[in-house]
Structure 1
Amino acid sequence: MFIGHEKDIEKIGFDGDNIKGVIKQSLIGPDQGWDGYIMRVFTVEESGFTPRHSHPWPHINYVISGKGTLYLSGKEYEISAGSIAYVPNNTAHQFMANKGETIKFICIVPEEGDK
């Protein structure tokens, strides 16, 4: 059993050539008793973006707050609080925050997806 709070989870920031203003928190996974999966929260700051990439595992996403765009398999989709998305394995994707917005979303991946 595990009980905690997001505010107490380590924040790991990312900025670089293909990523801007992204913070990751790994909330629940094997260390908390959930074997095989990891639930993370990502915060993408105003005008920030995750890398456009693909990988061999799928993931599911739920937008907690903010507005932005999800690039998925060649198309762009507007996302906002309450939006959900399933990203299949080996599918190009990217999250982008709108100007004046910060996106916060849950992302659940198999354990190998959080390295």
Structure 2
Amino acid sequence: MFVGNVRNINELEIKAPGVVNAFKKTLIGPGEGWEGWVMRLFTLKDKGNTPRHAHPWPHINYVLSGKGILYLEGDEHALTEGSVAYVPSGAGHQFICTGDEDLVFICIVPQEGDK
């Protein structure tokens, strides 16, 4: 069993090629008892973005706040509070913050996707 508060979870800046102003908190995963899966909180600050990339695992996303774009397999999708997205395994994708406030979203992946 695990009960916590997002305010008490360390935020890590993501440092990788193509990443701009992106931060991650690992909310729940194997360390909290959820074997095989990880729920993360991403914040893209000040026009931040993830790189355009693909990987062999899917992920599920839920936007908590902000505005942005999800490029998915060459198509552009507007993101706002309440948006949901499923990115299949192997699909090229990128998240971009386009608003004046941070784009904050939950991302759930298999454990292998959170290395």
Q: TM-score, normalised by structure 1?
A: 0.96
The answer to whether residue 18 in structure 2 is matched with residue 13 in structure 1 is: no
What runs of 5+ residues in structure 2 fail to find an aligned partner?
none
C-alpha contact 2:66 2:99 (8 A) present in aligned 1: no
Q: What is the aligned partner in structure 1 of residue 27 from structure 2? A: 27
Distance 2:45 2:15 in 1: 11
Moved more, 45-54 or 58-67: 45-54
Distance 1:107 1:85 in 2: 9
Q: What is the aligned partner in structure 1 of residue 112 from structure 2? A: 112
Distance 1:29 1:80 in 2: 26
Distance 1:96 1:8 in 2: 26
Q: What is the aligned partner in structure 2 of residue 45 from structure 1? A: 45
What runs of 5+ residues in structure 1 fail to find an aligned partner?
none
Corresponding residue SS for 2:31: helix
Corresponding residue SS for 1:42: strand
Q: What is the aligned partner in structure 1 of residue 66 from structure 2? A: 66
